[in-house]
Structure 1
Amino acid sequence: MSLGHTGVTAPVAADAARRDIPDPVVSCGSPPEDCGIRDVQDRLGDKWSVMVLSELAAGIRRFRQLQRAVPGISQRMLTVTVRRLERDGLISRTVHPTIPPQVEYELTEMGHSLTHLIRALADWSLDHREAIAEARRTWDEANPT
């Protein structure tokens, strides 16, 4: 642990009450229990899932359309990502019996229910982009190593 990390960074309950810090918005209870957030975080916290879900929010897409719409994703990573999202019930996959087979992906009802949260996160990111960049610059100047 570095010298800069030896102090307590989270306020204790009495200190938080004194400063009018609200209770946490998200809590799994006390003692901490498995409320399922880890599974969702694992899926949505990967590099590609939110981008794929965002693209599918616009409508049905074929595999190549998805690959072109998500810059930098490889064929293998897109395959892995859509399989995981399908397994989690967020997207559905339809294979049309043509030669070659045509595969289409679309959001399920549960997948659509996530889109307003993704939009809120995107809006928050845009609203706080400059403040985050400034905080990073300040931190980097104070912690040059």
Structure 2
Amino acid sequence: MTPDAGFYPFSKEVWQAVNTQAMNALARREYCREKSQIESVRCVHLEDETEDSFGRQVWFFEAFGVDPVGRNHRLYGALDFTVQYGILEPARAALVDEPQHRNRFLLSVIRPSHQQIWGAPSTNVWVRLTLAFVLFATAIWMLFLWVSLVG
């Protein structure tokens, strides 16, 4: 958890938006909205909005979900929001059975993988082979074109 996230005074609208998105995450997994409960909602990561980048908030929650058969499930959720021009926009949501999986979600938000697909060694091989084939095919085509014009 980032230090600022635990003590930041969030408005009533923010709390309502987070609770609504948490309930929507339960509904997407087909848990009953009326019987399920959201509890222990807290902000665990907070990045303020700056002039050159949007802000970000990550919220964790626990829930008791009731499935269509009527069984209770203990669930752990994570919600990722972007703050764009002062407006909270939902970005991603995760609902898992173990709290450890929720921490992986947080790590993917805090430290995203910056390795681009073009930087992977296997991609370099295929790109180089494709370029070599294109150059080879162009050379063969130019040779046939030159032979047909000269001959």
How would you bin the TM-score normalised by the shorter chain?
Answer: under 0.3
Q: Which has the larger radius of gyration?
A: 2
TM-score by length of 1: 0.25
Considering fraction of residues, name the structure with more strand: 2
Higher relative contact order (CA 8 A, sep 6+): 1
TM-score by length of 2: 0.25
